[in-house]
Structure 1
Amino acid sequence: MKYSRATDYALHTILFLARNGSEKKLGVQELAEKQNVSPTYLSKILNKLVKEGMIHSSPGVNGGYSLGPHWEKISFFDIIQAIEGKTSLFDCCLNSNPECSIKKVMLAAEKNMEEELRTKKISELV
């Protein structure tokens, strides 16, 4: 199982912002340089995080990105879901069969992983 590179950038961006201080702003250029990624690509990721209320965007010369008001509560799962969406990792080819035993095992494993990721907060790494 593999998450997209966008999820990696999102997780690291939130961590950089947290380590920078909850009130301080970082520009997209600086955040992109820290991760060796295109500012244009990172902007698309940041827009998803802004939409979810995890970070704030301030335009202008002194603008940039900063953490949202309850950033300490942001879990790894919250960030992953903001980037990857809410669909299941496993897609059973026998969708018409609700009793599929393989699907039951895969969904149970996914649920366990999600519960673990919900308990891990970015604030624990700061």
Structure 2
Amino acid sequence: MKYTKATNYALHTIAYLGLLPSGKAIGVKPLAEIQKVSPTYLSKVLTTLVKAGLIISAPGVKGGYRLIKDVEDITFLDVIQAVEGLNPLFHCSLDNHVHDRENCFIQQTMNEAEKKMEEHLHSQTIALVLQKIDQRVSDYLKSEAG
């Protein structure tokens, strides 16, 4: 199982935005620099997060991006589903005279596993990960915030 790089950057970006003082925004450039990714690519990820209602884009000189919700209310699953969508990870491809895709026992097992993983990711909030972030990261982001 593998998530896209966009999910990686989205999770980190949400965590970084969670470190900002309330009401403060940060531009795409410092967010891209800290993650060593191009601002153009990260802008696409940020657009996805805006459309999902997790962050907002604030215009102006001191504009940038900031969270809409509290970090206690944003789960890993929220961010992953915003980027990856809601489709299941596994799709049974067999459908023939001896195998019914609708009742595939392998599909059922995979769905159960995915449900357990989703339950875990839903229980993990961004607030929990913020407790583990290095102070240097926090200081850098606060210095770049508008």
Same topology, TM > 0.5: yes
Structure 1 residues 101-122: Cα deviation after superposition (integer angstroms, max 9, x where no partner): 1111011101110011000000
Distance in 2 (alpha carbons) for counterparts of 1:69 and 1:90? 31
Distance 1:101 1:71, change over 3 A: same
Structure 1 residues 43-100: Cα deviation after superposition (integer angstroms, max 9, x where no partner): 1100111111111101221110011034421100000000001111001112552121
- Structure 2 portions without partners, runs of 5+: 131-146
Q: Which structure would you say has the larger RCO, counting Cα contacts within 8 Å and 6 or more residues apart?
A: 2
The correspondence of residues 1-126 of structure 1 with structure 2, limited to 5 A, is: 1-94=1-94, 96-126=100-130
Distance in 2 (alpha carbons) for counterparts of 1:22 and 1:50? 18
Q: After the TM superposition, which parts of structure 1 deviate over 6 Å for at least 4 consecutive aligned residues?
A: none
Distance in 2 (alpha carbons) for counterparts of 1:102 and 1:3? 21
Question: Which of these two proteins has the greater Rg computed from alpha carbons?
Answer: 2
Q: Report the Cα offset of residue 19 of structure 1.
A: 1.2
Matched residues, number: 126
Distance in 1 (alpha carbons) for counterparts of 2:79 and 2:32? 18
Distance in 1 (alpha carbons) for counterparts of 2:50 and 2:30? 17
**What percent identity do the matched residue pairs reach?**
52
- Structure 1 portions without partners, runs of 5+: none
Distance in 2 (alpha carbons) for counterparts of 1:93 and 1:53? 34
Structure 1 residues 15-60: Cα deviation after superposition (integer angstroms, max 9, x where no partner): 1111122321110001000100010110110011111111110122
